[in-house]
């Protein structure tokens, strides 16, 4: 399915010497590394789809590290962020961690600390990506449902009988059976139990009877 899945580490720091030494370090540990000397340059890049992580300097001209984290956090399949900084304080680090950073390293730091953080961040990225792929697969299959089938689905996963659904939608019970069969086939499941689990993953709310 995928050709390769080499993790990529993005280094964003306005200090060229920091970039350079980080690149060398990361490459010596077998990572593909790419440097950007500002948040703006990083954002110009085409959205990255693979696994990896971002090493981000807090203080930079223009868009700062924290602001960039906010921007990236809005896209769902974002890469884990490791902060590095020369002039950080506790409130700053706490805020970054609250927003989901995987680590926050004050300069100077040991090579080993940085690599440890990168290993963990990349691992996290892999997991995010896997569950994201699963979800996309699911959504693609769900897109193949007709409007009517999408309408019937919440009733089915709520456990209503065909007869009850038919009454709700004012159509024949037979028709519900057909929709049901189509849904099961399109989503590739062999039982209502599997269907329910699928729908849970895709966050499809079952029809609530108390309404």
**Residue ranges that bind DNA, judged by CB under 7 A:** 146-149, 161-163, 166, 169, 171-175, 177-181, 184, 192
Choose the contact partner of 146 out of a copy of itself, DNA, none; CB within 5 to 8 A by kind.
DNA
Q: Which range binds a copy of itself by CB under 8 A, 37-45, 49-57, 95-103, 137-145?
A: 95-103
> DSSP class of residue 11?
E
Residue 9, phi then psi, degrees to nearest 5: -105, 120
80 binds a copy of itself (CB under 8 A): no
CB closer to a copy of itself out of 29 and 109: 109
204 binds a copy of itself (CB under 8 A): no
Q: 110-115 — which CB contacts under 8 Å span 24+ positions?
A: 111/25, 114/22, 114/25, 114/55, 114/82, 114/84, 115/25, 115/29
Q: CB of residue 150 vs a copy of itself: minimum separation in angstroms?
A: 17
Number of alpha carbons in the 13 Å side-chain half-sphere of residue 51: 22
Which helix (H) or strand (E) segment holds residue 121: the answer is helix 111-143
CB closer to DNA out of 63 and 189: 189
CB closer to DNA out of 178 and 202: 178
Q: CB of residue 188 vs a copy of itself: minimum separation in angstroms?
A: 13
57 binds a copy of itself (CB under 8 A): no
What is the CB neighbour count within 10 angstroms for residue 161? 12
Rounded to whole angstroms, how far apart are CA atoms 102 and 54?
10
Q: Which range binds a copy of itself by CB under 8 A, 27-35, 42-50, 69-77, 88-96?
A: 88-96
Q: Of residues 4, 44, 76, 89, which one binds a copy of itself by CB under 8 A?
A: 89
Choose the contact partner of 112 out of DNA, a copy of itself, none; CB within 5 to 8 A by kind.
none
Terminal-residue alpha carbon distance, the chain: 45
- Please give the residues from 131 up to 170 whose contact with a copy of itself meets the rule CB under 8 A: 156-160
Name the strands in the sheet holding 8-12, side by side, starting at the edge strand that comes first in the sequence: 32-36, 8-12, 52-57, 81-85, 103-106
Q: How far is CA 84 from CA 10, 50, 55, 194, 195, in A?
A: 13, 23, 7, 45, 45
User: Which stretches of the chain bind a copy of itself, using CB under 8 A?
Assistant: 88-91, 93-94, 97-98, 103-104, 106, 156-160, 189-194, 196-197, 200, 206
């Amino acid at each position: 399915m995928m050709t390769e899945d080499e993790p990529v580490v993005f280094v964003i720091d306005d200090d060229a010497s920091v970039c350079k030494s980080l690149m060398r370090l990361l490459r010596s540990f077998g990572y593909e590394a790419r440097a950007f000397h500002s948040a703006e340059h990083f954002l110009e890049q085409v959205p990255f789809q693979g696994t990896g992580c971002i090493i981000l300097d807090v203080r930079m001209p223009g868009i700062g590290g924290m602001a960039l984290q906010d921007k990236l956090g809005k896209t769902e399949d974002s890469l884990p962020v490791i902060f590095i900084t020369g002039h950080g304080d506790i409130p700053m680090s706490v805020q970054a961690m609250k927003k989901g950073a995987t680590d926050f390293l004050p300069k100077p730091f040991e090579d080993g600390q940085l690599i440890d953080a990168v290993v963990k961040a990349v691992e996290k990225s892999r997991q995010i990506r896997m569950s994201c792929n699963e979800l996309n697969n699911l959504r693609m299959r769900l897109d193949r449902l007709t409007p009517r089938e999408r309408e019937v689905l919440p009733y089915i996963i709520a456990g209503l009988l065909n007869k009850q659904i038919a009454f709700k939608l004012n159509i024949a019970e037979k028709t519900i059976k057909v929709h049901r069969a189509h849904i099961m086939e399109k989503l590739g499941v062999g039982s209502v139990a599997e269907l329910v689990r699928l729908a849970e993953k895709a966050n499809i709310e079952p029809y609530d009877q108390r309404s």
